[in-house]
């Protein structure tokens, strides 16, 4: 089986089937859950928390995540990378930065904690939630 490294139309169609599904973030100590509210051609909208905050994930952010993992050879658990999501750019890790990078190069909203569980659902990545720090890798 081949690694999933492209957000092609097949993967995006699978992601669109998750509308209404609830998933769990990898990093939060309280194991925050989120719901996939809507999927269109280029965006996934997730709803989080008791106040139903909405966050938009771009298709590009999914691709940027896979590109980072593949280009840095994070294939298999032995080559896992720390997720290190953080709202403060100085405290965020390179994977978090890769996923949230905007077209103008500036950091956007933290999205890695929502992208990874979606990719995990389709076995593109695995997440080590039990150990700290949490880490992820591309599934062989």
- Can you tell me the distance from the alpha carbon of 58 to that of 28, in angstroms, rounded to the nearest whole number? 22
pLDDT single digits (tens) 55-65? 999 999 999 99
Query: In the chain, what is the straight-line distance between the N-terminal and C-terminal CA atoms, in Å?
Result: 7
pLDDT at 14 exceeding the cut of 50: yes
| pTM (two decimals) | 0.94
pLDDT single digits (tens) 67-104? 999 999 999 999 999 999 999 999 999 999 999 999 99
pLDDT single digits (tens) 21-76? 999 999 655 568 999 999 999 999 999 977 889 999 999 999 999 999 999 999 99
Between strands 135-138 and 53-58, the pairing is: unpaired
Average pLDDT taken over every residue of the chain: 93
């Amino acid at each position: 089986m081949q690694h999933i490294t492209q957000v092609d139309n097949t993967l995006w169609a699978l992601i669109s089937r998750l509308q209404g599904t609830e998933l769990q973030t990898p990093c939060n100590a309280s194991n925050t859950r989120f719901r996939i509210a809507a999927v269109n051609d280029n965006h996934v909208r997730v709803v989080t928390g008791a106040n139903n905050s909405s966050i938009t994930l771009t298709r590009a952010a999914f691709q940027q995540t896979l590109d980072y993992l593949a280009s840095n050879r994070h294939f298999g658990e032995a080559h896992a990378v720390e997720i290190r999501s953080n709202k403060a750019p100085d405290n965020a890790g390179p994977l978090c930065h890769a996923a949230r990078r905007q077209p103008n190069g500036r950091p956007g909203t933290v999205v890695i904690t929502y992208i990874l569980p979606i990719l995990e659902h389709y076995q593109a990545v695995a997440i080590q939630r039990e150990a700290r720090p949490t880490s992820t890798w591309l599934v062989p």
